[in-house]
Structure 1
């Protein structure tokens, strides 16, 4: 079983989502991927390692993302769900300023240059 070094964890769908969020976040935080789906065995492992962490869910604003969000709501009822605007559809394609605003609203420290719309 994997040990996580940080108290905050963001669950995203894919590696491109993880890369984008990682560049924006300033504080030490774990960003883990479901790769679109999550197996029962991986879910069991996550339940064990995430039980004492602050968990945030940031998935795409599409049907696959909403299906995953519902599953994660059942398994992690205390997780905070972060939502991107539906017009962007995917975390990876959302503008950095939008993601920064979503993250900062959840009290996640971000690099200030991403708060600029320009």
Structure 2
């Protein structure tokens, strides 16, 4: 399961993934209670966090680290700022490093 901030992040990475993976949008920074409500149904699954390289992304990351310390965090370069504007090739590399199967046609192209 992948946690992203917004719908544009989800629509950017979803076509890159070649396996059934749930992508959860938090819609930005949220409360600890709301985060638990969103993630509780996925308890026991691998939680992957892929959020923007900005202040709200870092706040969300800190909250996830506190509430779900087992979550794995993956980062985009600060120069891209947002998941939604990160080049496809970079996102593919991040997903591969998270052991997520990616669309081979995109990975090879």
- Do both proteins adopt the same fold according to a TM-score greater than 0.5, normalized to the shorter chain? yes
Q: Find the partner of 1:95 among 77, 87, 91.
A: 87
**Deviation at residue 47 of structure 1 after TM alignment:** 4.5
Taking structure 1 as reference, are residues 33 and 110 closer, same or farther at Cα in structure 2, changes over 3 Å only? same
Determine the C-alpha separation between the residues in 2 that align with 1:10 and 1:102: 12
Unmatched 5+ residue regions in structure 2? none
Taking structure 1 as reference, are residues 59 and 96 closer, same or farther at Cα in structure 2, changes over 3 Å only? same
Determine the C-alpha separation between the residues in 1 that align with 2:98 and 2:47: 11
Paired residues, what number?
109
Work out whether 1:73 is the aligned partner of 2:65. yes
Q: Find the partner of 1:37 among 29, 52, 71.
A: 29
| Higher fraction of helix | 2
TM-score by length of 1: 0.85
1:18 aligns to what? Answer: 10
CA RMSD of aligned residues (A): 1.4
**Superposed structure 1 runs of 4+ greater than 4 Å apart:** none
Taking structure 1 as reference, are residues 67 and 40 closer, same or farther at Cα in structure 2, changes over 3 Å only? closer
Segment of structure 1 superposing worse, 36-45 or 67-76: 36-45
**Deviation at residue 114 of structure 1 after TM alignment:** 2.8
